[in-house]
Structure 1
């Protein structure tokens, strides 16, 4: 149970860190979750539509539109029409949002990478398996 309690504490700490970022940048916490989801999708080579983003975040169509309108007005995302199918619109994160995120989350990411450098491949595999299993369990 100690590890479960530590995981819960880390989740709360990361949530507070994310909330501070949102507040200091005039964003809603869901805006931050959306940017993370969009960057994760881009890193995986996936395009994201408004509908898909809404389903990932648990938002209805109106909520997704309001979210994207806010993020677009702030200059954090842009809507891009598909070159092959002009009816399809994907959402991309603007480089300004990435830069803003790195300014806030970069030091935390660097600390995490520093901790991970202390593990050998077997230990990293165990951490990866545990976190992947927890993601599946939470999903």
Structure 2
């Protein structure tokens, strides 16, 4: 492996992360939505796709937020009509968070331009390329999480 090429790739990943942050910030400003709220909606959708709507505690852990910060965020999302708090477990004390149709509609409006742009970029690659890039991105994401966890333990 060429160390200079590897370093350049790391810098490009950093630039991609920053560009993504700029997109989220500008989109959030346009829709008057906090970055944390958009991250929470993405996390809730991830949990829903896995088959289990999250609890507030799940979101606190996922987003690295305190309980009071999570409560404030959920209050904002509920006021905006983006979530529902449901008691759907046998244990009625457990609150689950689900996205609403409004959240899905607003999310599409916010992120459809980004998705279209990314699909345009991806369309220039072969299926084999996409498989390699996908594996790399999954491993790179895991590497970032590993570094974050190591930093918390030191």
Is 2:63 the partner of 1:57? yes
Q: Which moved more, 1:47-56 or 1:102-111?
A: 102-111
Is 2:30 the partner of 1:24? yes
TM-score (norm 2): 0.84
Q: Secondary structure at the match of 2:86?
A: strand
Partners of 2:22 and 2:143 lie apart in 1 by 22
1:35 to 24, 35, 41: 41
Q: Secondary structure at the match of 1:48?
A: coil
Which residue matches 2:52?
46
Deviations 1:54-96 (A, max 9, x none): 1111111111111101110111111011142211110011111
Q: Mind listing any 5+ residue stretches in structure 2 that lack a counterpart?
A: 1-6, 146-154
Deviations 1:25-54 (A, max 9, x none): 222211111111111221222320000001
Partners of 1:42 and 1:118 lie apart in 2 by 31
Q: Larger Cα Rg: Structure 1 or Structure 2? A: 2
Q: How does 1:48-87 map to 2 (within 5 A)?
A: 48-87=54-93
Q: Mind listing any 5+ residue stretches in structure 1 that lack a counterpart?
A: none
How many pairs align?
Answer: 139
Q: Which moved more, 1:20-29 or 1:84-93?
A: 20-29
Is 2:116 the partner of 1:116? no
RMSD, aligned CA: 1.3
